[in-house]
Homo-oligomer: A and B are copies of this chain.
Amino acid sequence: MTGNSPDFTVSLRAAGLRPTRQRVALARVLFEGGHRHVTAESLHAEVKATRMPVSLATVYNTLNQFRDAGLLREVVVAPGRSYFDTNTGHHHHFFVETDGELHDFPSDEVTIAGLPAPPEGTKLSRVDVIVRVRR
* In the assembled complex, A131 has its CB within 8 A of some CB on chain B: yes
The secondary-structure label for the interface of chain A is strand
User: What are the residues of chain B within 8 A of A74 when measuring CB–CB?
Assistant: 79
Residue pair A130, B131 in contact (C-beta under 8 Å): no
* In the assembled complex, A135 has its CB within 8 A of some CB on chain B: yes
User: What are the residues of chain B within 8 A of A122 when measuring CB–CB?
Assistant: 94, 96, 133-135
Binds B, one of A1-9, A30-38, A48-56, A102-110: A102-110
9 contacts between A and B (CB under 8 A): A79-B80, A80-B80, A105-B115, A121-B135, A122-B134, A123-B133, A123-B134, A127-B130, A128-B132
Residue pair B133, A130 in contact (C-beta under 8 Å): no
